[in-house]
Structure 1
Amino acid sequence: MYQLKITKNTDALALQHFNNVKGRLLDDINYFLSGKNRIMNKEKISILRDKPSEDLLRYLSKEENLKELIVSHPDKLRCIISKLHSDAFDSSKILNRILYHIFIVFGYNDKCFNKDDFYRQSQVGTCPYCNMVDIHYTPATAFSKTEKGELDHFYPKEKYPMLGLSFYNLIPSCPSCNDFQHKNNWDVTSDKEDASLTPMKIINPYEYQDSHFFFDYNLKSHWENAENGDVYILGTDIQADTKDKINCRL
């Protein structure tokens, strides 16, 4: 893994991204708030008689609150997650399904979100999870098929649909790292109060630091059967032929 840096440029891109999608999102939010229903998977979904849905949608109907959701850095996204009603994470609940319709059906999967532009503007050329595979997005033409990497939802869209278009939750990645055997839709969190890493022990690439990882090498375990219990360590400023060795007693 390597770090995707948060800079003034990425924050500017996040704001541009918000301006591109806000109209579509606000339209669907206000549609639900008007009391109308949508059909998703042959099921009617509506906020009627569902207070958690009405409360959250009224909050998100204010542009500044919606903006915060879309452009917030990963640490702020964890704070947002920690304050959500539990129904927001449960796909059997109305709130989760309404959020899925707004942010995924009407958002991420809609033409209002241009994946081609997102890939191009992010300037992420190598998958940050494996640091091995080149990624890009080229839409299909009359003479060629679509070629693309993928956008991984760090917080999976099925459980966290409200983060489906949050800029710093969308990680350009390679198909291998995002396939069903690897990251895919696995939840990276242990619980919503500690939504940073865990059962999978994955860090959002925007928060990755080399200091998060260290290696512990136990020399004794490899030398315990040796006849000589001494290990000699040569410092970089010590010439081997000087015989001036540091004796490290195990």
Structure 2
Amino acid sequence: MVNLNLNDVAANNHFKALKDCLQNRIKKILKNGVVKSKTKYLPNNDLKIYLNYLLIDDNLKQLIIARPESITEIISFTKNRYGSFLTKNHPSNIILNNLFVKSCYDDTKVFSKHDFIKTIDIDTCPYCNRSYIYYLSKNKEIKPEIDHFFPKSKYPFLAMSFYNLIPSCQTCNGFGGKEEKDPLKEDLINPYLLKSSDFSFTFEPISSRIISTLLDKNSIKVKIIKNIPGHLDVFKLKELYELHSDHVVELIFKSKIKYSDTYRAYLEKYKDKGLEFSDNEIDRMILGNYATEEEIHKRPLTKLYQDIGKELGLIK
């Protein structure tokens, strides 16, 4: 729904901040293994080869900063060469989970979720564009949500890969939403590879209803006419967006009373008073939301507003 911009500078800084912690932990695992629920797990030969491979800086860096399209290649190679790594509760999976998740992702001294989301610089959930992902500083104890696009339970070796960490809202990341669903099985696309044009909204009147008021939210139905089916199913976008018909009704009302023409003319009068608005600023005030593709992430439902606003002729 919302495209995330690649940021290789941030990805490299992310790697630099994690490198020593991960490699020091690898050395300890190679020497002593890990203990979980009073059971000691030692790496087998395949895992020893893999862990020693990651002790080479460039190899670990390749894993941590891998771009979204390369992550699927890493998964394919790992599945063919080290299939047990992807098997939940297999000793190798447990050890990798300890390395990347418990010893790194879950350790606030090593990885700050607050700082990470601040680096991404996005305001709304990229999966739904319905909710803010705002958070407070650490001492305010408002926990930010970060989704592992490829879930850490199955792909623990990707748990700290920069482009696998997606800021999200609680609805999309929680129970009934994405949870631990595998994108390869659900046909999901990483938000870094999404385009805003992958989704498109319209509406249709519900003619069988007796409309009680001009702004009756039940008089129309929101429709998603262009979509990625996997996202529609996993994030329940169709059902959730149908709940937002009141926003569309208000836009329809504005179009009926020629609101945009009247308001544009009204704002033009302020030029003589030294107050001049750009076309984008006027579109934003008419729409009641941001009006450009680059600003979709800034406010909930922006994509819906833009598509309907263009359809109704409120904005170009």
With the length of structure 1 as denominator, give the TM-score of the two structures. Answer: 0.75
How many residue pairs match? The answer is 198
Corresponding position of 2:97: 100
Structure 1 position 173 matched with structure 2 position 159: no
RMSD across aligned C-alpha pairs, in angstroms? Answer: 1.6
TM-superposed CA distance for 1:108, in Å, is 0.3
TM-superposed CA distance for 1:98, in Å, is 1.1
TM-superposed CA distance for 1:187, in Å, is 1.3
Structure 1 position 204 matched with structure 2 position 190: yes
- Measure, in 2, the Cα distance between the counterparts of 1:146 and 1:79: 37
* 8 Å contact from structure 1 (residues 135, 148) kept in 2: no
TM-superposed CA distance for 1:72, in Å, is 0.8
Structure 1 position 122 matched with structure 2 position 117: no
Q: Deviations over 1:57-100 (max 9, x none)?
A: 11111111001100010111111111111111112212111110
Letter in 2 for 1:128: P
- Measure, in 2, the Cα distance between the counterparts of 1:136 and 1:46: 41
CA gap 1:135/1:41 in 2 versus in 1, 3 angstroms: same
* 8 Å contact from structure 2 (residues 22, 104) kept in 1: yes
Following superposition of structure 1 onto structure 2, how do residues 231-246 of structure 1 map, counting pairs within 5 Å?
none
* 8 Å contact from structure 2 (residues 114, 144) kept in 1: no
Corresponding position of 1:43: 39
Corresponding position of 1:240: none
Corresponding position of 1:33: 30
Following superposition of structure 1 onto structure 2, how do residues 28-107 of structure 1 map, counting pairs within 5 Å?
28-34=25-31, 36-47=32-43, 50-84=44-78, 85-107=82-104
Q: Deviations over 1:196-227 (max 9, x none)?
A: xxx2x3211000124656848xxxxxxxxxxx
SS at match of 2:172: coil
With the length of structure 2 as denominator, give the TM-score of the two structures. Answer: 0.60
SS at match of 2:183: coil
SS at match of 1:130: coil
* 8 Å contact from structure 1 (residues 152, 170) kept in 2: yes
Corresponding position of 2:275: none
- Measure, in 1, the Cα distance between the counterparts of 2:196 and 2:136: 32
Letter in 2 for 1:170: L
Corresponding position of 2:262: none
Q: Deviations over 1:161-213 (max 9, x none)?
A: 000000000000001110110111111213xxxxxxxx2x3211000124656
Unaligned runs of 5+ in 2: 201-224, 227-316
Identity %: 38
- Measure, in 1, the Cα distance between the counterparts of 2:97 and 2:169: 24
- Measure, in 2, the Cα distance between the counterparts of 1:59 and 1:121: 29
- Measure, in 1, the Cα distance between the counterparts of 2:157 and 2:28: 17
* 8 Å contact from structure 1 (residues 38, 44) kept in 2: yes
TM-superposed CA distance for 1:137, in Å, is 2.6
SS at match of 1:106: helix
SS at match of 1:157: coil
- Measure, in 2, the Cα distance between the counterparts of 1:15 and 1:136: 24
- Measure, in 1, the Cα distance between the counterparts of 2:197 and 2:132: 25
Letter in 2 for 1:82: S
Corresponding position of 1:137: 135
TM-superposed CA distance for 1:37, in Å, is 2.2
**Dislocated runs of 4+, deviation >6 Å:** none
Letter in 2 for 1:183: K
Corresponding position of 1:146: 141
Corresponding position of 2:5: 5
Greater fraction helix = 2
- Measure, in 1, the Cα distance between the counterparts of 2:13 and 2:145: 20
CA gap 1:139/1:59 in 2 versus in 1, 3 angstroms: same
Unaligned runs of 5+ in 1: 191-198, 217-250
* 8 Å contact from structure 1 (residues 25, 103) kept in 2: yes
- Measure, in 1, the Cα distance between the counterparts of 2:183 and 2:84: 19
